[in-house]
Chain A
Amino acid sequence: MAAVAISDATDGRRILALSGRLEATTIRGVWDESRRAIAAAPDQRVVVDAADVDYCDGAGIALLVDLIQQRKAGDVQVANLHPAFETLLQQFDAQALGHDLDPPAPRRPAVEEIGVITAGMGEDLRQQIVFIGETTAALVYALLHPSTIRWKDVWRICERVGADALPIVALISFLLGVILAFQSAIPMRKFGAEIFVADLIGLAMLRELGPLMTAILLAGRSGAAFAAEIGTMTVNQEVDALTTMGLDPVRFLVTPRIIAALLMTPLLTLFADLISLLGGAMTLQSFSIPFVTFVHEVEGIVNFSDFMAGFVKSFVFAILIAGIGCLRGLQTTAGASAVGDAATRAVVSGIILLVVVDGVFAVLYFVLDI
């Protein structure tokens, strides 16, 4: 327990005699009482007599510092404190302790803020260009020297990117086909044009939605996984270890992932195209359009160039998803949230890039009349 006895000496000084153990769990009442005693005697000098203090932890020292701070320098003195505790007390400059524990971040002027953001974007762009260069060089080297590719890693990643993604790709594609067919068939029925829903689904899925939705799913699934895996390796110094072993992290980590994505994304896109057509065909059965008629209609409207327009995009999407996932992983900084941030950035920037590149493809196909 801790206690304080308050008295006034004959020379006019107020004496606060502290006793017992000054610990965080015992000083609550003592602290308030001591403060009130000092406040009640504004014209008296104060002596805090610590002769009977048996023990003093950090909280006890804080109490003494606070009592000293109650008046201007020199008006409150601590006396008879055990030398061990006195040493502790001397560690702190009472006047220097007034700073805010969590000061708000200094606000920059708007122009400076814009400059900092622009510089950050410029640095990110520089890193992306360097990464694209390194990755291209590594891929070209891998193509010229296939034996240097870590095929075991490639097949392992293929399984995770491709086979493990089949259920989610199937579900989303099927529902997309169903929804697209249902939403378009209802208004088109008013004109007796339900049969053209097959044309709509065939063209929309094979040219646009099949590759794009598959790529977005993979960006959320595999892109984030790549960023998290490589990010964790970065945090655990495994990437540093690779470098000090003389192994190129791009060849070791990025190349297998890009090759796996290049192999799997087009296959998943084909799978998504077929499943979405199946969903559309099943929905149109409820509008009295038989399966055979649906297939015949799709065959009539979708030609090889339509199919290739979507299929070619899936290769580019694969490189974007894997590349951005690996880049964000390699950019991972230190800290508890760093890996999560890397995965988030991989998904966000991956999806933005996919949509932008898809737009570029749309313009390109329009210009080329594909």
Chain B
Amino acid sequence: MTTPAPIADPIISVRGLTAGYGDVVLLENVGFDVRRGEVFVILGGSGSGKSTLLKHMIGLLPPQSGSVAIDGDDIIAAEGDARRAILRKIGVMYQSGALFGSMTLAENVRLPLEEYTDLTSDEIGLIARMKLSLAGASRGRFERLGKIIALA
């Protein structure tokens, strides 16, 4: 028997989100909370707006109205460094993996560490080797590495 997780403040809070493309409104007045530790599933038919909703939740698209708060900070209203700080709290595993095809797997792992930390090249190298070993060497390594980077 598992103990239910205590109710926590929402880590993601969507309020009154209305979004679409051009004149087409795909999502209207959508609102929900996702709490820390909660597994939250968005189900819907093809073209129902699941990807559109996710793109708005991670700040890739601006909504027509409404707000999306990540850990209490509105990702839509934030700009510049404040926005980057919010984005750094988000890990996204894309359907296509979204690793950078022009880089080696090791460079894919090193990139966020080089950009966001003041670790030395040796330290970054060690972390990269650890993550690469987690991804394994067989088929599917690319996808697994995408998950590892998204979760890190």
Contact = CB atoms under 8 A, between A and B. Distances in A.
A345 to B, nearest CB: 21
B112 A245 contact: yes
Interface stretch (A229-237, A268-276, A295-303): A229-237
B62 to A, nearest CB: 12
A244 interface: yes
A238 B88 contact: no
B87 A243 contact: yes
Interface in A200-233: 229, 232-233
Given A236-B96, A237-B96, A244 B58 contact: yes
A232 B98 CA distance: 11
B59 interface: yes
Given A244-B59, A245-B112, A247-B115, A238 B100 contact: yes
A241 interface: yes
A74 interface: no
B59 A238 contact: no
Given A244-B87, A245-B87, A232 B94 contact: no
Interface residues of A, number: 13
Contact of B92 (A233, A244, A247): A244
Given A244-B59, A245-B112, A238 B87 contact: no
Task: Kindly list the 5 A-B residue pairs having the minimum CB-CB distance in the complex, ordered from nearest.
Answer: A241-B98, A246-B87, A246-B84, A237-B98, A237-B94
B95 interface: yes
A256 to B, nearest CB: 11
Nearest to A153: B102
A43 interface: no
Nearest to B83: A246
A159 interface: no
Interface residues of B, number: 24
Interface of B: 55, 58-60, 83-85, 87-88, 90, 92, 94-102, 111-112, 115-116
15 contacts: A233-B100, A233-B102, A236-B96, A236-B98, A236-B101, A237-B94, A238-B99, A240-B60, A240-B94, A241-B94, A241-B99, A244-B92, A246-B84, A246-B116, A247-B115
A237 to B, nearest CB: 4
Interface of A: 229, 232-233, 236-238, 240-241, 243-247
Contacts of A245: 87-88, 111-112, 115
Contacts, number: 48
Given A236-B97, A244-B87, A245-B111, 16 more contacts: A232-B101, A233-B100, A233-B102, A236-B98, A237-B94, A237-B98, A238-B100, A243-B59, A243-B60, A243-B87, A244-B60, A244-B90, A244-B92, A245-B88, A246-B84, A247-B115
B88 A233 contact: no
Given A243-B87, A245-B87, A246-B88, A238 B98 contact: yes
Contacts of B102: 229, 233
Contacts of A236: 96-98, 101
A308 to B, nearest CB: 36
A240 B115 contact: no
Contacts of A246: 83-85, 87-88, 116
B54 to A, nearest CB: 10
B112 A233 contact: no
Contacts of B97: 236
Given A244-B59, A246-B87, A238 B95 contact: no
Given A229-B102, A232-B101, A244-B59, A237 B95 contact: yes
A14 to B, nearest CB: 43
A240 B96 CA distance: 11
A232 B101 CA distance: 9
A325 to B, nearest CB: 15
B11 to A, nearest CB: 16
A233 B60 CA distance: 15
Contacts of A240: 55, 60, 92, 94, 98
The listed residue with most B CB atoms (<10 A of its CB), out of A233, A238, A241, A247, is A241
Contacts of B111: 245
